[in-house]
Amino acid sequence: MKTITQEQLRSIDINVRAYYDYQAERTAIDGRLGKKKDGRFKKGTPERDEYMLLALQNRRDEIFMFEEVMEKEITKSVQEHPLWIYFLKNVKGCGPVMAGVIITQFDIHKAPMASNLVSFAGLAPGKDKKIKGKKCSFNQFLRAKLCGVLGSCFLQCKSVPYSGYYYEYKTRLENSDRETEEWLYKEDRKKKEYNGMKTRTVKWKDGYVDHRHKAAIRKMIKMFLQDLYVAWREIEGLPVRKSYAEEYLGKKHGEVVNVDFRKATVPEKTNKFVRIKKAKVIG
């Protein structure tokens, strides 16, 4: 198996970030032109003089073509990485570009526990907020891509088992009497009962739908990171610790199985990947 050097990882990182930079520019131009990604006009877009917008349209097409070139280059590089070969390519909803984000932003050798990945991704309670005047404790780029891109992809393609975690947790919150603090929408701050307040304490079931949606996305990504931790550590031949819930609280979620990740495959008809709960466990 070909070994990926640190120099190559840094190059993949540059390509991945550049890809998203160009994508952001193309998306902004599409918004100005009122077009979708496939080039068709959005519904309700008014008529314009297309000749006057020709330079902008050409720039948009140029960026779109360059995106495709960058994606092919990233795919070529990522497909040589063991994590892609033995795990990520079997995760429905995780493409080569997102795999490039995961491979370049995480260092599995610095993550003796799954919670280290969760914390670095900005998903650990109490460590997920930026504090003015202090260095951010998590990777903002990584969190944006995991929650904003990967999470949406899992839901759109109904990825097994991760989309199931989303709906299960969202349903639980919709019926939960547990209280949470959430930011008020600007229009709600003007209401008499809030009198200009910025946050409120409310039961989960009575909170904003968007708040429950984001919480369920975070839960889904955390479950993915637990699987990523086990798979990657096993691939690298590193010891794997039980999750906090298993090791300290005595909780077990699902059946514990041992699988050799180098032989793990995905059934072609179902695209279902067996969730790994235990590999080489210490502690």
The chain-wide mean pLDDT, for the chain, equals: 86
Contact 188, 249 (CB under 8 A): no
Q: Tell me which residue of 231, 235, 238 sits closest to 278, measured CA to CA.
A: 231
Contacts of 207 (CB under 8 A, 6+ apart): 180, 182
pLDDT of residue 266: 35
Instruction: Identify the pLDDT of residue 2.
Output: 66
Identity of the residue numbered 211: H
- Pick left, alpha or beta for residue 25 (phi over 0 → left; psi -120 to 50 → alpha; otherwise beta): alpha
Amino acid type, 141: F
pTM of the predicted structure, to 2 decimals: 0.83
Domain ranges of the chain: 1-80, 81-282
With beta carbons less than 8 A apart as the criterion, state whether 212 and 154 touch.
no
pLDDT for 253 equals 57
The dihedral of CA 142, 237, 8, 85: what is its sign? negative
What are the CA-CA distances from residue 210 to residues 45, 203, 207, 282 (Å)? 28, 14, 9, 39
In Å, the largest CA–CA distance within the chain is 69
The share of the chain scoring above pLDDT 90, in percent, equals: 65
Say whether pLDDT at 254 is over 80: no
- Structure confidence at residue 226 as a pLDDT band (50, 70, 90): very high
C-alpha–C-alpha distance, residues 220 and 191, integer Å? 34
**What letter does residue 206 receive in the DSSP assignment?**
G
The number of helix segments (H) and strand segments (E) in the chain equals 11, 4
pLDDT band with cut points at 50, 70 and 90 for residue 232:
very high
Residue 1: predicted pLDDT: 56
**Residue 74 contacts residue 80 (beta carbons within 8 Å):** no
Whether pLDDT at 251 is above 90: no
Residue 20 has pLDDT above 70, yes or no: yes
What is the per-residue pLDDT across 160-187, written as a single tens digit (0 to 9) for each?
899 999 999 999 999 999 999 998 998 8
Minimal CA–CA distance to 21: which of 70, 55, 59?
A: 70
Residues 78, 71: contact at Cβ < 8 Å?
A: no
Read off the pLDDT band of 126 (50, 70, 90): confident
pLDDT computed for residue 267 by the predictor: 33
Residue 260, helix vs strand vs coil: coil
Among the ranges given (77-91, 214-228, 251-265, 268-282), the one the predictor scored with the smallest mean pLDDT = 268-282
Percent of the chain at pLDDT exceeding 70: 88
E strand or H helix at 199: strand 199-203
Omega before 112 within 30 of 0, i.e. cis: no
H helix or E strand, kind and range, residue 75: helix 54-78
